[in-house]
Amino acid sequence: MLLLIKSPTLCFSLSLPLPLSSGFYWYFGYIINLQNFLSWTIMSYCARIQYEKIGSDVTMQCGSLDNDASVTWKVNGTDVKARRREEGPRLILMEVNMSSNGLYSCFQNPDGQRRDQINLRVGLPPKEPQVTCRSNTYPKGFYCSWHLQHPTYIPTDFEVDVQHNQRPLEVTRDEVHKNRCHVKFPELFTSFPYRVNVTAVNSLGRASSAISFEESSIGTFNPRVNTSFTPRFKSTVELSDSTSHTITDAYAGKEYIIQLAAKDMEIGTWSDWSVAVHATPWMEEPKPITSTTESDIIPGMHELPTVRTLLSYSL
């Protein structure tokens, strides 16, 4: 037989003892009273969650013990080493941070009986969420999504309110994306704006953001699929019977990427392209022709900037 024990924070599935008579039960070789068993079980397995803000001083109370009670505190089964102060059944942690998270247990002295357990969760209140709305199913409806720019480190929920012409609209939460909702257009070609308000809520606070937009301003398209293309430009390929080649229309300072492929005269197949070589024509001004300058161009003219690249291929 199973019993599901629920607390405000945690739930546990437990095996119940076998019933005997007069309120007593058989449990792992012991005869026990069910009422005492359940009290012990809840105390042992359920811990209340306490949310506190990062940087604050935190006070934890050991159950309902009197102010003059003497208790010992443990965190995750070990001594509490954080900056603290103890006042009777209360433990006060100073300027808590993320390392303060843990399961705190208090034990009453001198018998050492555990009296309470607290699951301390440290975090931050939410700030205003960022909200965007789009329509990719026009004219059916639109969707809105939101996110927090800064983490809160504790569970945070969102409340969404959508209105059109001061009338609330039905909001459907997305089944896949937890921070998204869908809204149907109540009418088309309307001049009244839509207003979307998203409120982030957690145990430490709440913050809201609202946006307004017109129907025509949120239309968008889904990414295209099955897209095809036709190349309009391609690399220049030149054929040569020589083992060297001169680029005669090179631009000064422009980088060229050169590769070589070869085959044996008119037989066989072309080889793979060689590793690319990067070359850049010089940037210097052309020198005037002098008696010591060898040139095969017309006297009186200046040599145009060209790049001469010697490429060789060995078969």
Q: Which residues pair with 60 in a beta bridge?
A: 91
The mean-pLDDT minimum among 145-154, 270-279, 289-298 falls in: 289-298
Q: How crowded is the C-beta side of 17, counted as CA atoms within 13 Å?
A: 20
Mean pLDDT of 87-97: 97
* pLDDT of amino acid 265: 58
**48-123 matches 130-217 in fold:** yes
pTM, two decimals, is: 0.56
In this prediction, residues 157-183 reach a mean pLDDT of 95
How confident is the model over 32-71, as pLDDT tens digits?
455 544 544 444 457 899 999 999 999 999 999 999 999 9
Length of the chain: 315
Banded pLDDT at 194 (limits 50, 70, 90): very high
pLDDT for 291 beyond 90? no
Q: How far apart are CA 128 and CA 198, in angstroms?
A: 9
Please report, for the chain, the start and end positions of each structural domain, with discontinuous segments joined by +.
1-46, 48-123, 130-217, 232-315
Domain 48-123: homologous superfamily in CATH: Immunoglobulins (2.60.40.10)
Least confident window among 45-59, 86-100, 118-132:
45-59
CATH class of the domain comprising 130-217: mainly beta
Compute and round to an integer the Cα radius of gyration of the chain.
39
CA pair distance 72, 113, nearest whole angstrom: 10
Q: How many CB atoms lie within 10 A of CB 89?
A: 22
Mean pLDDT lowest among 50-54, 96-100, 269-273: 269-273
